[in-house]
Amino acid sequence: DLKPHLPEEVELAYFGMMEHATGQGIGRWFLGSAIAAAWSHGPKRVTVQTCTLDHPAALPLYQKLGFAPVAQKREIVHPLPFTERAASVMRP
């Protein structure tokens, strides 16, 4: 998903590979294509966010393709109990 939310910036959002597609060497091509699409909008910069929930190879690949870390923050993920998850997807 490309998010050209600012006139000078495009964020590469929700980029990822399905588990069955990892390790086949297509991630670099896929990311390269996404980056090219982002630059086609004419921004001054393209950004991407990653986290420790991403595949361990994600950050090194982003760096190989030209991204540089600019910030780091710590967040905690609290899984919802089943009843809350079910209520969020069930319609009355």
Could you report the per-residue pLDDT of 3-46, keeping only the tens digit for each? 666 778 888 888 888 888 888 888 899 999 999 999 998 899 99
Other beta carbons within 10 angstroms of residue 62's beta carbon come to 20
End-to-end CA distance of the chain: 31
User: Mean of the per-residue pLDDT values for the chain?
Assistant: 85
CA distance 69 to 48: 10
CA distance 58 to 47: 14
Residue 16 has what DSSP assignment?
A: -
Does the pLDDT value for residue 71 go beyond 60?
A: yes
The pLDDT, as a whole number, for residue 88 is: 80
The pLDDT, as a whole number, for residue 3 is: 62
The residues spanned by each domain of the chain are 2-89
From the options 1.10.357.10, 3.40.630.30, 3.30.565.10, 3.40.50.720, give the CATH code of 2-89.
Answer: 3.40.630.30
CA distance 82 to 87: 8
This prediction's pTM: 0.71
